Chains A and B, each alone.
Chain A
């Protein structure tokens, strides 16, 4: 399963969105589609488990979780989905 698929699965399980994540595009605004601040915390923790990473304080802001693409970009800064050089 690739990074985007895993992010989608995590959001489906922990994001408590009213609609399935498959109906959303990678750049769609997750808050506008039902992601609350409390659910964001659960998504963040589940992402940490799924990718075996820890979000640094510098990434603990709303914009990190505003879209699937934004989450993917944040994970990349932690080395997730980056091919080893």
Chain B
């Protein structure tokens, strides 16, 4: 078996990259990809923010516009460039990429796997089929489907969580205490704006009374992994800060603060969950809840998690974006063990309180920037800009990125953030 991060075989020459507005870490992606291969950027101008990005992407390769093309037409156009691999790093483009990859005979996830990775209900069924512990999960039916509503009334248990069937980043995700509350929230969802997608109701996995994720940290983690030739390798376990209500992520850090026995159990559940997705090749971000009965998988995402490449690079030197490109090109890569970390890298997302709709002031960022261990602060919503908790993780006011020596320093820094910086709003 290959050693840690061993790469065998020569780089291929052209990668077809399916661009998506939600592709993470734009600049590092293009620079890392350029170091390895020629890039054919596949763009669809009907998606938001693609047109201005095309000029940037052209600096780093060829742009192929597939706007309005059928899958067969797109595949035929891409084939003319003879790519050796194809890649997408956004949930919204996985299925399209899988369908095109299949037509081109390129190694990627199958369309069935892409559905499994983006449809929460289908994914839970796959977990169940593979013997993994899974919380109860029900499709929330449309108004006119009385039979499905009756079934949900009979089977659902509470407390539960209502979430979009194909959503990400905790967008539109809310706790639900009872069937009556579900009906009320469902009506509100519909009247607040058009319901953009189907919803699922999931049994809430209760928090452990013990601080299994480490004192002061949340009781869930994510595992950052990749699959190559059917073999799962893990590159990091990502701890969490306690979420902001209702389920907004407030921070990530690598490595997580787990004891070695629990970490081994978490890695095993992640491996089984990824295996259940039947992935041939690619990167995954698997969320796992820590319960008194053992780790329980929440979900597997078939792409790199937001902020994860930067955290890994700072904590253990793994270049995850580069690794994703090399995997897509057919190189064999494997890690026998979790790469050791010599620092704790963190990324905090600081949200406004749930009742605030417009930010009026953010004070104290300059003082925070002077703090040891703080490398970068990015203000996302400044004075006068709207915030909405329904945006989930992406609705944060500012982010803080940096590294510290250990988890104790991280706890101290986390405390400083809330004492030094104030967010005011109305």
Q: Chain A residues with Cβ under 8 A from B55's Cβ?
A: 45
Report the separation of the CA atoms of residues A85 and B198 in the bound assembly, to the nearest whole angstrom: 66
Report the separation of the CA atoms of residues A57 and B28 in the bound assembly, to the nearest whole angstrom: 11
Contact B56 A45, beta carbon cutoff 8 Å: yes
Report the separation of the CA atoms of residues A29 and B398 in the bound assembly, to the nearest whole angstrom: 13
Number of A-B contacts (CB under 8 A): 59
Which residues of B line the A interface, CB within 8 A?
Answer: 25-27, 30-31, 34, 49, 52-53, 55-56, 59, 359, 365-366, 369, 376-385, 398
Does A22 have its Cβ within 8 Å of any Cβ on chain B? no
A35: min CB distance to chain B, Å: 8
User: What residue of chain A has the Cβ atom nearest to residue B376's Cβ?
Assistant: A31
Q: Chain B residues with Cβ under 8 A from A60's Cβ?
A: 27, 30-31
Q: Chain A residues with Cβ under 8 A from B30's Cβ?
A: 60
Q: Given A29-B369, A34-B379, list of 17 further CB < 8 A pairs?
A: A18-B379, A29-B377, A31-B377, A31-B378, A32-B377, A32-B379, A32-B398, A33-B379, A33-B382, A36-B378, A37-B27, A41-B27, A44-B56, A45-B56, A54-B59, A57-B31, A57-B34
Report the separation of the CA atoms of residues A54 and B60 in the bound assembly, to the nearest whole angstrom: 12
| Range class of the A interface residue count | 20 to 34
Q: Chain B residues with Cβ under 8 A from A33's Cβ?
A: 379, 382
User: What residue of chain B has the Cβ atom nearest to residue A35's Cβ?
Assistant: B378
CB-defined interface of A59-84 with B at 8 Å, one 1/0 digit per residue?
01110000000000000000000000
Contact B26 A19, beta carbon cutoff 8 Å: no
Does A17 have its Cβ within 8 Å of any Cβ on chain B? yes
User: What residue of chain B has the Cβ atom nearest to residue A49's Cβ?
Assistant: B55
Contact A41 B383, beta carbon cutoff 8 Å: no
Q: Chain B residues with Cβ under 8 A from A44's Cβ?
A: 56
Q: Chain A residues with Cβ under 8 A from B383's Cβ?
A: 18-19
Listed from nearest, the 5 A-B pairs whose CB atoms lie closest are: A18-B382, A34-B379, A31-B378, A32-B377, A34-B382
User: What residue of chain B has the Cβ atom nearest to residue A65's Cβ?
Assistant: B27
Q: Chain A residues with Cβ under 8 A from B378's Cβ?
A: 31-32, 34-37
User: What residue of chain B has the Cβ atom nearest to residue A60's Cβ?
Assistant: B27
Output the residue of B31, B379, B380, B382 with the most chain A CB within 10 A: B379
Output the residue of A32, A40, A41 with the most chain B CB within 10 A: A32
Q: Chain B residues with Cβ under 8 A from A32's Cβ?
A: 365-366, 369, 377-379, 398
Q: Which residue from A34, A45, A61 sits with its C-beta under 8 Å from B52?
A: A45
Q: Chain B residues with Cβ under 8 A from A62's Cβ?
A: 27, 376
Q: Chain B residues with Cβ under 8 A from A19's Cβ?
A: 382-383
Knowing A31-B377, A32-B366, A60-B27 touch, does A42 contact B52 (C-beta < 8 A)? yes
A27: min CB distance to chain B, Å: 12
A25: min CB distance to chain B, Å: 11
CB-defined interface of A11-55 with B at 8 Å, one 1/0 digit per residue?
000000111000000000101111111101110110000000010
User: What residue of chain A has the Cβ atom nearest to residue B380's Cβ?
Assistant: A36
B172: min CB distance to chain A, Å: 22
Report the separation of the CA atoms of residues A37 and B30 in the bound assembly, to the nearest whole angstrom: 13
Q: Chain B residues with Cβ under 8 A from A29's Cβ?
A: 369, 377
Output the residue of B30, B378, B382, B383 with the most chain A CB within 10 A: B378
Q: Chain B residues with Cβ under 8 A from A45's Cβ?
A: 52, 55-56
User: What residue of chain B has the Cβ atom nearest to residue A14's Cβ?
Assistant: B52
Report the separation of the CA atoms of residues A32 and B31 in the bound assembly, to the nearest whole angstrom: 24
Q: Chain A residues with Cβ under 8 A from B34's Cβ?
A: 57
Q: Chain A residues with Cβ under 8 A from B359's Cβ?
A: 18
A57: min CB distance to chain B, Å: 6
Report the separation of the CA atoms of residues A21 and B398 in the bound assembly, to the nearest whole angstrom: 19
Contact A34 B25, beta carbon cutoff 8 Å: no
Q: Provide a sorted-by-A list of 14 A–B residue pairs whose CB atoms are within 8 angstroms.
A: A32-B365, A32-B377, A32-B379, A34-B379, A36-B378, A36-B380, A37-B25, A38-B49, A38-B53, A41-B27, A41-B52, A41-B53, A45-B56, A60-B27
